[in-house]
Chain A
Amino acid sequence: MRTVLRQFVLSRGAGADPDEILRLPGSAFAVSDGNRPATLRRLWLDTFDWRLYRSGLTLEQVGTRGVTQLVLSGRDGAVIAAEQVGPRAAHGHPAARENGQARPGASPHPGPGGRLTWPARLDALPFGPLRDHLGPVVGVRALLPVARAVSAVGDRRVLNSDDKTIARLTVDRMSVTYPAAGDAAPRLTVTALRGYQSQAQRMIDLLAAVPGIADGGSQPALETALAAAGRRPGDYSSKIDVRLAPQMPAAAALAAVLTALFDTLEANVPGTVRDLDPEFLHDLRIAVRRTRSALKLAGDALPGDLARRFRAEFKWLGDLTTPTRDLDVYLLGYPDLAGRLLAASADDLAPFRDHLERSRAAEQRKLARGLRSARFTRLAAGWRDALAAVPAGRSRPAVARLAAARIARAHRRVIRDGSAIGPTSPPESLHELRKRCKELRYLLEFFASLYDPAQHWQAVRELKALQDCLGEFQDTQVQQDEIRAFAAQMLEERAAPAATLLAMGEIAAGLAARQREARTEFAGRFRDFASPASQTRIRALTRAAA
């Protein structure tokens, strides 16, 4: 067992040859000659929204001496799981191999030629502890290369007076090739062998005093690679991250929010076009919906007829994304739907799944065409230009005042529409209320930076509970309508055996039951949201900033 005791950065400009520095002349320790440096091809992987990084995990594909491994480690560098992904080498005790005992990580499909190609979804990874660890964090997201580097790694041994190795010195000279080319300063890692920490510490004290060697902190190699390429990890989030000041002119503040939304939208276009995972489209759609809501609810604060000019184009963009997303929702929920079947078997549903997948493939092609179209390019360029032209100077009203008025109005509408809903109200009334809730939610998100975070969180939490219930009610309604349409379509295409139609009927019944349940829950959720205490909180939130 080894413990990383310290990392240093070797200065290239200090004049001293690192090989000489590491000899520690005059000390009681001897340092062995460096072996021939091994070439390490390193590829770091994460989801587009940095789920691994945010969870304190690093996934690295390391190739050296013909062996490629995927290594998942924690923030302290300790390996959590590793899996060989290249052509499989013999591993383990020969007897275990002869006995036919497969390693738990043995993969049914290491991929063509035993290599994984990136980006890849989790199901492309071999079964085993690595995939088990990644699953809950990564979910449906694809793993994408976030940085690529080639390292020349040389190892030296530090020997005590018994010629016993007490520590290893590893010098890593890393050249980053992606996302941009750059050389990182050589890093020296001192790793103490178990039982020799105190001797290794004495050697570290000697090293620390050598000119040209500086403390390297504990920056993980991924961050070093990204820094050399001029990037930082965690630089994407679908959340609106705009700092607004209460006295900022409303038009400028709104332009800042809309610019941030369009950054998110555009960032998700390549992943959506390449169909890497369903979250790209999801985030893109949310950015479109938020933009449309901002234009509808506060667009009048923008100069001239800017809001009016772009509303139709964003509606087109929103409509373009709807069919694929609806089918994604069905396909993502498919295992759950199939698992709920009582009378029918999951096999009965297979033609339905095939139909969904065929339909999705067709819709995805239309979506990709739309996002590559001249219309979208014109929308993007025109929108950016228009937002950049919004004057930043002082003009009335201040954003805090506008936000308070619009949030108050949206809130009043939710209370009014919700209070009018009774046990006999038609489903449409709940659908309309859901839209009002979304509008209020988006307003709270656009202007979040104006408010006290704790109060804001409380307000959003109460609204979210109501939205979840309305969402379940509406989604199950839409899915029931859709499954009927799918059934008709499949009959027309002669792609629906009787067993499949029966299974689909069972799913429709299940959806109807879930919808009834949501309807029953609605009254209680709305009562909580409309409680005097909750209403006071929303008013207090906006009043303080205005």
Chain B
Amino acid sequence: MKTFATYNIKGGVGKTATAVNLGYLAARDGYRVLLWDLDPQAATSFLFRIRPRVKGGGKALIRGTRSIDDAIKATDFDGLDLLPADFTYRNLDLLLGAAKQPVRRLGSLLAPMSAEYDVVFLDCPPGISLLSESVLQAADTLLVPLIPTTLSVRTLDQLTEFVSGLDGSRPSILAFFSMIDRRKRLHREILEELPAQRDDVAAAAIPALSLIEQMSVQRAPVTAFAPRSAAARRYEELWREAGKRSELPPPPC
């Protein structure tokens, strides 16, 4: 089981769109995929028309009184299941803090899922917190959407430094440009310069396209409702690169 986390300290950078589209593409390729909407804003759950509610809330999940298994819902897409968000996830930091070995907690909750799923996506809320640390421990690969601005690049540096200082297992980082607006000079410059300077920045990049925003109207991944669109093709490229970099094995028969 490979675990990808879409993560950034900043909000509104395209984490949810990435998790939803890459999750859909993985399932389409034949992997058994679980997507965990960890963000109490519940955008991922909304996109799949699944009510953001987990019986017993985050507390029951973190304490283990309710198994993850019971809370999982199938999406409308074959092979893609969702562990929905719950408003109590806003307290996940506190709940983790009360747990034993809090930074390993998400990983240990997910470990039993490896018999059922090949790929897990964790769609994380923004911020840097105990939950983030637990995500970093559980993930094999961090997918970091990056708006091509100076501040975003600085945030990537902070994250890289933070990850390298972690004890135990460290995820690999794959940053990629997101919400690119080629009309902006700064975007174009950073797009040209940064990949040449850093090997943790993907060649694939996601432009700011209105079709991606349409996802919240269609309530489906753009890769599903407009698979031949430019937006879907960019996500395909990103998925291919993420799979290759993370050495994802072929799906089961």
Contact = CB atoms under 8 A, between A and B. Distances in A.
Nearest to A3: B74
B81 interface: yes
Interface string A237-250: 00000000000000
A130 B250 CA distance: 17
A164 B50 contact: yes
A130 B253 CA distance: 9
Contacts of B240: 93-95
Contacts of A165: 76
B195 interface: no
Given A93-B31, A162-B49, A194-B72, A82 B253 contact: yes
A351 B71 CA distance: 64
B188 interface: no
Nearest to A96: B250
B253 A83 contact: yes
B186 interface: no
Nearest to B25: A93
A92 B76 contact: no
B113 to A, nearest CB: 12
B248 A195 contact: no
Contacts of A297: none
A92 B250 contact: yes
B48 to A, nearest CB: 8
Contacts of A130: 253
A194 B253 contact: no
Interface string A86-122: 0000011111111101111100000000000000000
A543 B59 CA distance: 73
A2 interface: yes
Nearest to A163: B49
B56 interface: no
A164 B250 contact: no
Size range of the chain A interface in the assembly:
20 to 34
A99 B73 contact: no
A192 to B, nearest CB: 9
A196 interface: yes
Contact of A2 (B50, B51, B74): B74
Interface in B213-253: 219, 239-241, 243-244, 247-251, 253
B199 interface: no
A98 B244 contact: yes
B73 A194 contact: yes
B30 to A, nearest CB: 6
A195 to B, nearest CB: 3
Interface string A143-160: 000000000000001000
Size range of the chain B interface in the assembly:
20 to 34
Contacts of A103: 250, 253
Nearest to B32: A1
A92 B73 contact: no
A230 interface: no
A135 interface: no
A92 B239 CA distance: 12
B73 to A, nearest CB: 3
B49 A193 contact: no
Contacts of A220: none
B189 interface: no
A167 to B, nearest CB: 10
Interface string B18-30: 0000000010011
A237 to B, nearest CB: 33
Contacts of A163: 49, 219
B143 to A, nearest CB: 14
B42 to A, nearest CB: 13
A81 B253 contact: yes
Interface string A162-175: 11110000000000
Interface string B147-189: 0000000000000000000000000000000000000000000
28 contacts: A1-B81, A81-B253, A82-B253, A83-B253, A91-B30, A91-B250, A92-B29, A92-B250, A93-B29, A93-B240, A93-B250, A94-B29, A95-B244, A95-B248, A96-B243, A96-B248, A96-B249, A96-B250, A96-B251, A98-B244, A128-B253, A130-B253, A162-B49, A163-B219, A164-B48, A164-B50, A194-B74, A195-B73
Interface of A: 1-2, 81-83, 91-99, 101-105, 128-130, 157, 162-165, 193-196
Given A93-B31, A93-B248, A94-B240, 12 more contacts: A92-B250, A93-B29, A93-B239, A93-B251, A95-B244, A96-B250, A97-B250, A162-B50, A163-B49, A165-B76, A195-B71, A195-B74
